[in-house]
Amino acid sequence: MTPIRISSFSSNGTGGNPAGVVISDMLPDADQMQKIAADLGYSETAFAAPEGDAWRVRYYAPVGEVAFCGHATIALGAALGAQNGAGRFDLNLRDAQISVEAMQNGDTWAAALQSPETWSKPLPEAVRAGLLDLFGLSEDDLDLAVPPTLAFAGVQHGVIALKERSTLAQMSYPFDAMRDLMLEHQLVTVSLLHQNGPRSFDARNAFASGGVVEDPATGAAAAALGGALVDMNFDGLQDGGSFNIIQGADMDMPSALRVDVTGVPSESVRVSGSVRWM
């Protein structure tokens, strides 16, 4: 039961978000999974065991269980592909059933997850005000083409879009206060975004709720954003289509995520990217 270390959403063979993957005949007990995740120290570790024709999966951050994690799912998909061959793997999560597809091109592996169903709504005013205060932002900093949003794809995320790339580059916050606010309002992450071109975003992602200051690539948040952009018909995405997210550049961990949507509100979102073994 040796953990595999894989960086998901790597860009040109570098960067990405490290995740642990543990594949075993049976899932370890909860205390053991928590200890392994804490010892690895990555933002999440995925644990998987066969369950009929599918896989039973759990995700653990260093400080507790997470219902769904995108980059750990991508890492798990690549690991299952390397073990069993490229193809689709059905995953039974704690609260949902999803799938991941492993793809191989020469020595390079990539994976694409199909998220849980999505929903979104305006970020509640108290949460909006609290996040702006903790990030040191004002209403004038916001790009209201993507208004502050509460977005869901397996777990909840806050989404805040900024007018200026320089404002995104300056992201900082008081860790304990942010963690407390996120836990109070059941936010797993908060995404700060800047639109850098047609259907392309730069992103930074606060993960204080999981004991991590920032994630360099966040597949679950990308899926939630995809659902939210469909709900608001951003750039005509209710006709279906895709967009790209560049994340991790401010951490020197460049990451690239592709998001594909059907255009139907609440439907699953596909998030894909390459991986590198660590």
**144 CB-contact burial (10 Å; exposed 0-12 / middle 13-18 / buried 19+):** exposed
Beta-ladder partners of 270: 114, 260
> Which segments within the chain are labelled E, that is strand?
4-10, 17-23, 45-51, 54-61, 64-66, 87-92, 97-105, 108-114, 118-122, 149-153, 156-161, 189-197, 200-207, 212-215, 241-247, 255-261, 270-277
Which residues of the chain fall below pLDDT 50?
none
Q: How far apart are CA 247 and CA 2, in angstroms?
A: 29
pLDDT of residue 196: 96
What is the model's pLDDT at position 211? 87
Provide the pLDDT for residue 49. 98
DSSP SS3 for 105: strand
- What's the pLDDT at 210? 86
Domains of the chain by start residue, with CATH: 4-114 (3.10.310.10), 118-270 (3.10.310.10)
Instruction: Give the predicted TM-score (pTM) of the model.
Output: 0.95
- 3 state SS for 82-99: HHHCCEEEEEECCCCEEE
Give the pLDDT confidence score for residue 1 in this predicted structure: 73
Quick one: which of 165, 168, 157 has its CA closest to 229?
A: 157
| Token pair for 21 | 């993957």
Looking at residue 256, its pLDDT comes to 97
3-class SS of residue 117: coil
Q: Share the mean pLDDT of the chain.
A: 96
What pLDDT score does 107 carry? 87
Tell me how long the chain is.
Answer: 278
